Amino acid sequence: MKTDTPVTIRRSDYAPPTFLVDTVELDFDLDAASTTVRAKLALRRNPAAAADAPLHLDGDGLTLVQAKLDGVVLPPERLAFAGDGSLTIAGLLDVAVLETVVRIAPETNTSLSGLYTSGGNFYTQCEAEGFRRITFFPDRPDVMSRYTVTITADRARVPVLLSNGNPDGAGDAGEGRHRARWVDPHPKPSYLFALVAGDLVAVSDRFTTRSGRDVALNIWVRRGDEDRCGHAMDSLKRSMTWDEDIYGLEYDLDVFNIAAVSDFNMGAMENKGLNVFNTKYVLASQESATDGDWQGIETVIAHEYFHNWTGNRVTCRDWFQLSLKEGLTVFRDQEFSADMGSRAVKRIRDVRGLRAAQFPEDAGPMAHPVRPDSYIEIDNFYTPTVYQKGAEVVRLIHTRIGATAFRRGMDLYTARNDNQAVTIEDFVTAMQDASGIDLSAFYGWYDQAGTPELTASDSYDPATRRFTLTLRQQTPPTPGQPDKHPVPIPVAMGLLGPDGAPQATRLAGENAAQPGTRTLLLEGTEQSFVFEDVPAPPVPSLLRGFSAPVRLRGVTRDRLRFLAVHDTDPFVRWESGLQYAASVMLEMVAAQQRGEPLGFDAALAEAVANTLAAAGDDPAFAAEALSLPGEGFLADQMEIADPVAIHAVRQHLRAEIGRRCRPALRATYDALAETGPYRIDGTAIGRRALRNTCLAYLTAAGDGPLAKAQFDTATNMTDSLAALSLLADTDGAARDKALATFHARWRGDDLVLDKWFSIQAMAARPDAIAAVRALYTHPDFDLRNPNRARSLIGAFASGNPSQFHDLSGEGYRFLADAVIALDPINGSIAARLVGPLGQWRRQAAARGTLMRRELQRVLDTPNLSKGTFEKVSKALL
């Protein structure tokens, strides 16, 4: 039984801080078992707060040694501690200096929030609310301060001492200890504080900004990892150049440090001047990194670097505004990656990702607006909705006002709000002022949850040569938001003639026809657009480039086939092929459920043949076009999913296509064999992607030895892993041998070993659950390491739907067991992993009952973390 139900924090309850902190002096005496933190805060009463309001300081797990106010030790009766560890002090003057001394224990901090140790080194993670685990402080983003940090530690064991800003002296501290001082001239919120210290080595380079600032760039890693930092460093320099070129934004310190750590809750963190990264997004070599890894590093390095302006210089007033920095920064990193490689393929991948993670979230128990109204644990709101849908909303505004006005809007936004903690209104207002376009309706995208459904119907009148396109929108209800309003939906579109040729378009009232793509704006629930002078019934191509994050429904199969071949827009070509396949596959799922034969739609094989024939032009696009809709995507199209039937249909189709297209697949596979040196440019990556897609079809068609041969001879991780994951789905000696070989070769490399765990966790074999349980007790498994926990538990629950949803309920039981074991160690990761159980409403009753039972078992666990409590209790509502 729970005694104290966690508190819900509401956006409407925002109140400004009672005190501001102009400067902070922090002094760390580092020791893994007991670190002493001295803090000196220069406090000033916030003019926006009441004259007698007390000082509120957050704190979490701190042992207070002493507190002094204006030089005088505070007696215990002046210190009002609350149950959450926070501290309230009343009776302050308008200006005051508070000095505190606290003790913390980094080596027992398994939550990886606050100051913790990893491999004997020290690291911090403060976003969102980790700084309160380091010292007493108004730990909220609207308190921005200038920090000076002194770190003292054992010189031999902790030779490197890093914090935010610029270095400001170092020296001996006696008794084998040494000391370093860091000064950050830029005011920042506490969530951007960082400290990294330990036995680390740097890979270094330099960058000169447009206005001539010479910046030292360092990537700090463990000894031995130096030769795997080159791509991260290149990505950093490209990001710095891009932000200058596209947005005129320059770096603003003399040093930019990145530290890589293997125990990390998230991908990376944008602390001012000292980014901390999961090693996964820094370290890469030909032998150890897949193409996905290379691309992930480029994206995440760029993302964190771009935060320096969108997040750090201009930050969030409160955590409800999180998407102000995250949505905008994801939009910026997406555009950066699009400029570095193929824009079309990047867009396809981003949309794939949005639909795989955000659409289901928006249709599930945790559905929330891009700007949430309430939360129990803010950590639970670092979501695909805040990040990816948030980026789509920024893109909508970009589409609506155009690139030039958007750039002016960014200039205005950064100039007006520099060094301030602001809200989404400040962003939208800047864009509105820069463009002169009323954007007020776009708040609907920020404040309303759920994915809008867009339907189109049309008619053609040969007598008047008029084509009328009617667009309609509707958003399904989400928890707490039963009634939805229409939102502005930009629909980028064009018309194709019956021969497939693009037509110029003229809307009623316009003087001249426009060639190419144009953007219609659907503002109400339903709107008709009349096109004049249309010579013959056209086929509309809608939502080019995925111009809005909606579900477009009701395009006929004939039109999908037509668009997949003829449209000028690569996104629509890809999308139409995908939707066609999805529609066929969903019909097959229904047949499978009725126990009828599955059959085969020859048009699918034809499409594969056509794609292969044209693959030479753009192998990366061809690889995307050849990939069948994923199991999760199909499940998300069904009211009640059937993971087992979906898996069976997909396997059947892969095998059938493989058999029917075998010669062409084999020819492409052979033609793409790499002869030259290993490269990681878009073309080389596209060639490997296409070749491995062919391999998957050929293997499904029964060509087992091919995957084994590729595994045995692969010279890079992409090819090795592609082959291994196909082998992992098979039976027999080759599988076991390949897995054993891979383990023996990579047992010393955590990032690669994660892949070894994942591949087995995702193998859709009938013994999957037993295999996953066995891996859970494998000597290389470590529940405390987030990457490893995700690689097994997350990969199984999210990446192996047909086995996770096994009707025995054993998959659910495994997940609940793991979450219950992990929650006291790291509640943040436990709360993330429990997610798939929350989707019980989308499963048949037999499964839903079992899933709810496991959710209840988690909920009944004593001392559950706030985060896991929130996820599980909301899922059970």
**Binds 379, which of Zn ion, ligand ARG, none (CB < 5 to 8 A, cut-off by type)?**
ligand ARG
> Is residue 375 near ligand ARG by the rule CB under 6 A?
no
Member of 225, 377, 379, 458 binding ligand ARG (CB under 6 A): 379
Nearer to ligand ARG by Cβ, of 326 and 719: the residue is 326
Quick note: the x/- pattern for ligand ARG over 292-311, rule CB under 6 A, is -----------xx-------
At residue 290, the 3 state secondary structure works out as: coil
At residue 808, the 3 state secondary structure works out as: coil
**Strand partners for 117:** 122
Member of 99, 326, 624, 823 binding ligand ARG (CB under 6 A): 326
Dist CA 75 CA 66 (whole Å): 9
Nearer to ligand ARG by Cβ, of 270 and 750: the residue is 270
Among candidate residues 304, 335, 631, 870, the one labeled active-site is 304
> Is residue 391 near ligand ARG by the rule CB under 6 A?
no
Number of residues that bind ligand ARG (CB under 6 A): 12
- In this chain, which residue has its C-beta nearest to ligand ARG? 382
Member of 127, 333, 624, 854 binding ligand ARG (CB under 6 A): 127
- DSSP letters of 579-636? HHHHHHHHHHHHHHHTT------HHHHHHHHHHHHTGGG-HHHHHHHHSPPPHHHHHH
Contacts of 402 (CB under 8 A, 6+ apart): 435
Nearer to Zn ion by Cβ, of 60 and 127: the residue is 127
In the complex, minimum distance from the CB of residue 100 to ligand ARG, in angstroms, rounded to a whole number? 24
- Which pairs count as long-range contacts for 575-581, CB under 8 Å and 24+ apart, including other chains? 575/351, 575/543, 575/546, 577/607, 577/611, 577/625, 578/629, 579/555, 580/604, 580/607, 581/607, 581/628, 581/629
| DSSP category for residue 228 | G
Nearer to ligand ARG by Cβ, of 299 and 342: the residue is 299
> Is residue 426 near ligand ARG by the rule CB under 6 A?
no
> Is residue 382 near ligand ARG by the rule CB under 6 A?
yes
For residues 806 and 285, the answer to whether their CB atoms sit within 8 Å is no
For residues 151 and 195, the answer to whether their CB atoms sit within 8 Å is yes
Quick note: the x/- pattern for Zn ion over 149-178, rule CB under 5 A, is ------------------------------
Nearer to Zn ion by Cβ, of 279 and 758: the residue is 279
> Is residue 236 near ligand ARG by the rule CB under 6 A?
no
> Is residue 366 near ligand ARG by the rule CB under 6 A?
no
Judged by CB under 6 A, which stretch of 264-272, 483-491, 551-559, 761-769 contacts ligand ARG?
Answer: 264-272
Distances, alpha carbon 315 to alpha carbons 35, 321, 417, 482, 509, in Å: 30, 9, 9, 32, 44
The residue among 59, 53, 55, 20 whose CA lies nearest residue 37 is 59
Residue ranges in 736-755 that form contacts with Zn ion under rule CB under 5 A: none
* Catalytic status, residue 304: yes
> Is residue 266 near ligand ARG by the rule CB under 6 A?
yes
> Is residue 795 near ligand ARG by the rule CB under 6 A?
no
Distances, alpha carbon 157 to alpha carbons 166, 214, 224, 349, 753, in Å: 23, 31, 17, 44, 28
Distances, alpha carbon 728 to alpha carbons 736, 813, 864, in Å: 8, 23, 36
The residue among 855, 113, 12 whose CA lies nearest residue 375 is 12
- The helix/strand count (H/E) of the chain reads as 30, 32
Judged by CB under 6 A, which stretch of 255-263, 267-275, 572-580, 867-875 contacts ligand ARG?
Answer: 267-275
β-pair type (518-522, 255-261): unpaired
Tokens 């859709």 found at: 764
- Where residue 799 falls (left for φ over 0; alpha for ψ -120 to 50; beta otherwise) is alpha
In one letter, which amino acid is 717?
A: M
Judged by CB under 5 A, which stretch of 18-26, 70-78, 321-329, 654-662 contacts Zn ion?
Answer: 321-329
Dist CA 124 CA 459 (whole Å): 61
Member of 24, 62, 128, 410 binding ligand ARG (CB under 6 A): 128
Number of residues that bind Zn ion (CB under 5 A): 2
**Binds 268, which of Zn ion, ligand ARG, none (CB < 5 to 8 A, cut-off by type)?**
ligand ARG
Quick note: the x/- pattern for Zn ion over 672-711, rule CB under 5 A, is ----------------------------------------
Residue ranges in 324-343 that form contacts with Zn ion under rule CB under 5 A: 326, 329
Enumerate binding residues for Zn ion (CB under 5 A).
Answer: 326, 329
Enumerate binding residues for ligand ARG (CB under 6 A).
Answer: 127-128, 265-266, 268-270, 303-304, 326, 379, 382
List active site positions. Answer: 304
